[in-house]
């Protein structure tokens, strides 16, 4: 899951980045609304978290501009203003939710999860593939009831593959999905995380090729065996 944070206050931005990176989100940050508009035009984000008092394009104009361009990405506004009038203006402009600063990290995280569930039209069910399970709500991965201790990038990689189990992801596609644009490393980083994930899966009893390499293309989950029909 990718979150774009639009915040010009460095201290607040770092706190938000730390909060959501710890929860295995891919976080990218810009300092003004115009930069946000330009990024959304190029990259896909699952949620935009925006401060109200932005230089250049403020939050209301940002919401209106994104909605006028057809963007349906959920937008959550952070503000120091607690009046019903200010909230109504933001919501009417196209925002999906409103959180007043100073915010409670647990509440903010819950509101983000609720918006993501709503936009996906699902209650974030547990993902399963053979004996492998990933619980998005608890951010927990198990294989045959053994809990895997994954790094945030390993977790994000596995979630990407499990949510798109029939799709092959090249290194470039993985980089685009799991790293912020400004910090994007080389393809070797993807191979390193695949290797680490395979090692931990194997230690829990999984097949070494559960993360399957499609040579010359990329990575996917190993296809499940086809169960022959029972003949009556």
The answer to whether domain 127-221 has CATH 1.10.10.10 is yes
What was the pLDDT predicted at 223? 83
**Which residue intervals of 25-92 are DSSP H helices?**
33-42, 59-68, 84-92
Class of domain 2-120: alpha beta
Domain extent listing, the chain:
2-120, 127-221
What was the pLDDT predicted at 53? 61
Find the distance separating the first CA and the last CA of the chain, reported in whole Å: 45
- List of long-range contacts for 179-184, beta carbons under 8 Å, 24+ apart: 179/26, 180/26, 180/27, 180/28, 180/29, 181/28, 181/39, 181/43, 182/28
The set of residues, in sequence order, having a beta carbon less than 8 Å from that of 152 and lying 6+ positions away, is 21, 22, 24
What was the pLDDT predicted at 52? 67
CA 91 from centre of chain:
23
From first to last of the 232 residues of the chain, give the pLDDT tens digit: 789 999 888 888 899 989 998 888 888 888 888 888 888 887 778 899 988 665 555 667 788 888 888 888 899 988 776 666 667 777 788 888 888 888 888 899 989 988 888 876 655 578 888 899 998 777 789 999 899 999 888 988 998 899 888 889 999 988 888 887 667 788 999 999 999 999 999 999 998 889 999 998 999 998 877 655 555 5
What was the pLDDT predicted at 202? 93
What was the pLDDT predicted at 63? 84
What was the pLDDT predicted at 186? 87
What was the pLDDT predicted at 46? 87
């Amino acid at each position: 899951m990718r979150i774009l944070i639009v915040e010009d206050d460095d201290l607040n931005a770092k706190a938000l980045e730390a909060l959501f990176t710890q929860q295995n989100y891919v976080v990218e940050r810009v300092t003004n609304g115009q930069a946000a508009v330009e990024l959304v035009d190029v990259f896909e984000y699952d949620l935009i978290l925006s401060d109200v008092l932005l230089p250049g394009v403020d939050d209301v104009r940002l919401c209106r501009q994104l909605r006028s361009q057809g963007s349906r990405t959920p937008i959550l506004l952070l503000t120091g203003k607690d009046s019903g009038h200010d909230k109504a203006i933001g919501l009417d402009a196209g925002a999906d939710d409103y959180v007043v600063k100073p915010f409670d990290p647990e509440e903010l995280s819950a509101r983000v999860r609720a918006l993501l569930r709503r936009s996906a039209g699902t209650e974030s069910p547990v993902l399963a593939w053979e004996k492998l399970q990933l619980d998005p709500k608890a951010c927990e991965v198990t294989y045959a009831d053994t809990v895997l201790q994954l790094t945030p990038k390993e977790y994000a990689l596995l979630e990407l593959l499990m949510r798109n189990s029939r799709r092959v992801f090249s290194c470039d596609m993985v980089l685009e999905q799991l790293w912020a644009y400004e910090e994007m490393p080389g393809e070797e980083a993807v191979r390193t995380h695949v290797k680490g994930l395979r090692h931990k899966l194997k230690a829990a009893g999984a097949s070494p090729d559960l993360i399957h390499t499609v040579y010359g293309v990329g990575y996917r989950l190993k296809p499940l065996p086809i169960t022959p029909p029972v003949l009556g």
